[in-house]
Chain A
Amino acid sequence: MNFWEYLGNRHQQLLADAFQHASAVFQCMVIATLLGVLIGVLTYRREWAGNLAITSTATILTVPSLALIGLLIPVLGLGVAPTVTALVLYGLLPITRNAVVGLRGVDPTLVDAAKGIGMSRAARLLRVELPLAWPPILTGIRVATQMLMGIAAIAAFASGPGLGNQIFRGISSLGSSNALNEVLSGTLGIVILALLFDAVYVLIGRLTISRGIRA
């Protein structure tokens, strides 16, 4: 069976895996974005807190993904729980770091002006600081998504959902007639998904970044 025949035969299975893969990454990204921005907002104003947030999320990223999932299995069991936990943890670094850096990068005179014209703390954050820090935060989200696309494949190790299952199946049956097709289809699927997500982010950027600060 060549690659095209394989695709024709298994397209239903492949689409289901791809959908699950995308859905897992998307949901994890939503959680990671909320958490990452929240951590950024809570820590950016104190030097040590912001640095601590960046350093600790960076430390998580240095743990090999296979090891992290392996370590999570005894605690959370198999399936969705360790997958989501691992993906969210990995997604935090780019988002948290860009949120902290972005919020710190807002021109202090603008914050002063916002204070001076009588904006409350919350109004300042929501109307001035976050909109101005949004472009770097969005970049962080984009980078995190690309990363999670790849890492999500490892989730199959913990019986998680997604295209990783194709890859693992192929690797475990190396030598069999479909092994290469399985690995190839899983990998290509992930690449295509990553490109699609990226295109969506470009669109989101167009829609959500004010024309006044768009480069």
Chain B
Amino acid sequence: MPETQPPTAAAAGPAADAGPAAGAAPVTGATIQLENLSKRYHGSALPAVDSVNMEIGAGELVVFVGPSGCGKSTLLKMINRLIEPTSGRIRIGGEDVTRIDPVKLRRKVGYAIQASGLFPHMTVGDNIGLVPKMIGWSKTKVKDRVEEMLDLVGLDPKEFHGRYPRQLSGGQQQRVGVARALAADPPVLLMDEPFGAVDPITRDHLQDELIRLQRELHKTIVFVTHDFDEAVKLGDRIVVLREQSHIAQFDTPEAILTNPSDDFVSGFVGAGAALKRLNLTRVRDVGIADFPTVSVDDPLQSIFDRLRAGTHSELLLLDRKGRPYKWLRRGDLMRAKGSLARAGTLVGDYVTRDATLRDALEAVLTDSSGRVAVTGRRGEYIGVVDMETLMNSVHELLEEDRLSAMEAQHELEETRAQQTHLAQEGGAAAGPVPENGAGSSVAGGGGRLEGK
């Protein structure tokens, strides 16, 4: 039961860069490969899930998103065989698990569901310790693990260990649900609309928690939701599913937002794709400009001189701890008759470097002069972001996205051409390779469409 490694220094944002590259931190997850996975129910003409091919990298957080009835939950439940596939293959960490004992499979795959699914007749501790106990951990080891897990999801072990689920709020129940799913340290975690039943504020918190957890743990997580914004926020990559679990697009959130593969996807992305794109970038990723500053401790005369001589008509006054305090304009000091206390306008809003560009834009828009101060961890001044910087970086981002999307498209076409070429050259030789199988080998981080 190794203590989870601390988050690597400045681990990139959850939705940073494309693909399964999970950075330098050790990856505890395992790959998931679905090969021609289908589910056909008796008495229905069309299969519920139709020949899905997918490869999910180790340590990746992939979100299945799609309208209700598209079979996303069915597809998820086929990974731990709560729903047995009619045909096809599932591999986890390279091992074919399609035919092994499902109980054994499920102990390697954590499972968290909507409304937590906690057993009401067991205490929080018993719920979390259930799986470790079943796989034969010693009592003390189980007890330690339960405390560790409660700690991990941000609940005080002493306070919550002996409580029953009904004594917890919805958000707390959901945390315990996640703790239970992770208790036996499975490499893979399946989450079926886990935050669907909690209020929006709690959901936001839980999402942030999940991002933090994933940064620490690097599991392979498959997350099902019908909320596209949630998908964008959480996913390293997103699978947009249409009816019968046909993959409409499987790509990074950036690529889906900027370059939806077809009308279905763009319809699902909904209005305001550019705005949603802003959620994916942090202030630290864009140019933070310098702004002339003075301190409240500076002699009044020097402030006066700088205001008059400087190329800027405005200064940012910092308080004694270096935090943004007031915006000072050229005429302000005169009008206030030389009193710093009365001069200038108080700094209303500021953002941290971890804030999303959307937050920054919000702050800039509400500020009368169109800029916002950026602060560090202790609130100290770092720089300023203004409308122009924002505009430029957004344009750059969109352009970049467009280019990488085009590149991915190009790559895809090349693979397809290669495939057709292969098929034409030696149709019989390539026989056992399923048509889509070849595609998965070049999946990488780029866009991949299901060959239909």
Contacts and interface: CB of A to CB of B under 8 A. Distances in A.
Contacts of A119: 103, 130, 134
Contact of A118 (B103, B119, B122, B165): B103
Interface stretch (A5-13, A93-101, A106-114, A176-184): A106-114
B113 A213 contact: no
Contact of A120 (B103, B119, B122, B166): B103
Interface in B340-357: none
Contacts of B130: 117, 119, 127
Contacts of B104: 118
A46 interface: no
A100 B212 CA distance: 44
A132 interface: yes
Contacts of B123: 212
A112 B113 contact: yes
A116 B119 contact: no
Contacts, number: 68
Nearest to B104: A118
Contacts of A211: 164
A118 B103 CA distance: 5
A212 B113 contact: no
Given A123-B134, A211-B164, A212-B166, A116 B113 contact: yes
A116 B106 contact: yes
Nearest to A121: B103
B181 interface: yes
B163 to A, nearest CB: 9
Q: Which of B104, B109, B120 has the most CB of A within 10 A?
A: B120
B121 A213 contact: yes
Contacts of A132: 119-121
Contacts of A120: 103
Contact of A109 (B77, B113, B122, B131): B113
B107 A213 contact: no
A215 B275 CA distance: 49
A212 B120 contact: yes
A115 B81 CA distance: 10
Contact of A117 (B106, B120, B122, B164): B106
A115 B119 contact: no
B131 A213 contact: no
B117 interface: yes
Given A113-B111, A116-B82, A118-B134, A212 B103 contact: no
Interface string A13-47: 00000000000000000000000000000000000
Contacts of A212: 120-123, 164-166
Interface residues on A, range: 20 to 34
Contacts of A213: 120-121
B259 interface: no
B382 interface: no
Interface string B58-82: 0000000000000000000100101
Contacts of A150: none
Contacts of A55: none
Interface string A169-202: 0000000000000000000000000000000000
Contacts of B25: none
Interface string A119-137: 1100100011001100000
A118 B107 contact: yes
A116 B120 CA distance: 16
21 contacts: A109-B117, A110-B117, A112-B117, A113-B111, A116-B106, A117-B106, A117-B107, A117-B111, A117-B130, A118-B106, A120-B103, A123-B134, A127-B119, A132-B119, A132-B121, A210-B121, A210-B122, A212-B123, A212-B164, A213-B120, A213-B121
Q: Across the A-B interface, give the 8 residue pairs with the lowest CB-CB distance, nearest first.
A: A113-B117, A212-B164, A116-B111, A118-B106, A210-B121, A118-B107, A212-B120, A212-B121
Given A116-B106, A123-B134, A212-B123, 8 more contacts: A110-B119, A112-B82, A113-B111, A116-B111, A116-B113, A210-B120, A211-B164, A212-B166
Interface of A: 109-110, 112-120, 123, 127-128, 131-132, 210-213
